[in-house]
Amino acid sequence: MQSLDVITFGEAMAMFMANQPGSLHEVNQFTRELAGAETNVAIGLARLGLRSGWVSKVGRDAFGTFIIERLKNENVDIESVLVDDYYPTGFQLKSKVMEGDPEVQYFRKGSAASHLSIDDFNEACFKAASHLHMTGIPLALSEQARSYAKHALSFMKKNGRSVSFDPNLRPSLWTSQEEMVEQINTAAFQADYVFPGISEGEILTGFKNPRDIASFYLEKGVKLVVIKMGEEGAFYKTLNEEGIVSGFKVKEVIDTVGAGDGFAVGVISGLIENLSIEDAVLRGNAIGALAVQAPGDNDGYPTKEELLNYIENNLQGVK
């Protein structure tokens, strides 16, 4: 098993993006793409030149083969991805919008990824990675996937690896908001870095002020909290420092899906490369801005050279 800078796990789906605006039932043509918060992060990190790996289950079907081949082409390590002979790969439909968030319909119930269990956990694969990035989605998929996620988190912490956590709330997958908040926070408290959106932070902590949201997690032992505030940028706080990093102005917002994952890519990569927290958050804001200007979930994610050029050419007024 080759060494990895970052490993992540979760559900990937085939995504069919509408080629024209309108309600999904009216659309005649779609373009197939890849969807999945964790695959977005793995792809984004690989494009920046980091060694990233993704772990999951896919069905032995066309969608599963598509996901594996796509990740191979993005130089993401998929050595520990399992292929299930019984359960299928999930998929989704996404509308095309001229502004705002697109409509997304999921066909994922009973998917192969939702049957990922502790029995599938590959210790060597996770031990080969220096950092784990985790989202709250596997916690919501099924009891099996939740147990797997908790085991992976505990394993990485016991082995001295750093962990970042993006709540990535999916209320429709939970039986209640109370259960969601409890399970998500239990995982977040074990992470080194937590990246909630401002609205997520309010749901999870009951606080509206970014400083109070951050303090809620810092008091539980989290080392760094970075709160995504959309076009306003991001607020970060540790026990010793805090600040706001302004966002990048964009000419046109095409699709907001994947912006938060792109933000995580920027911050994680910056921290791995020992940038200051402020510069790591700046990198996150930059990739988030690039993401919303592209149609697919990860189409806008840059290479290292593209990222540095974008920051240099658009830095005025930021920070």
As a whole number, the mean pLDDT across the chain is 93
Residues taking part in catalysis: 261
Residue 152 lies in a domain: yes
Nearest 5 degrees, angle CA 37-CA 10-CA 213? 60
- Segment among 57-66, 96-105, 132-141, 202-211 with least mean pLDDT: 96-105
Domain that holds residue 228: 8-314
Q: What pTM did the predictor assign?
A: 0.94
Mean pLDDT value across residues 132-147: 97
Reported as a pLDDT band with limits 50, 70 and 90, residue 319 is: low
Say whether pLDDT at 98 is over 90: no
Tell me: the pLDDT tens digits for 73-87? 999 999 999 999 999
Asked if the structure places residue 3 within a domain, the reply is no
Rounded alpha-carbon distances, angstroms, from residue 151 to 80, 145, 148, 157 = 16, 10, 5, 10
Residue 31 lies in a domain: yes
- At 219 the pLDDT is 97
In the DSSP assignment, the letter for residue 102 is P
- For the cut 70, the answer to whether the pLDDT of residue 10 exceeds it is yes
Q: For position 127, what pLDDT does the model report?
A: 96
- Specify the pairing of strand 52-55 against strand 4-9: parallel
110 domain residue, yes or no:
yes
Q: What number is the average pLDDT over the span 91-95?
A: 92
Domain of 47, CATH number, reads 3.40.1190.20
Considering its fold, how many domains does the chain have in total? Answer: 1
| Residue 49 belongs to some domain of the structure | yes
Is 201 domain-assigned? Answer: yes
Average pLDDT over residues 278-291: 95
| Tokens describing residue 308 | 């540095």
Question: Average of pLDDT values for 53-67?
Answer: 97
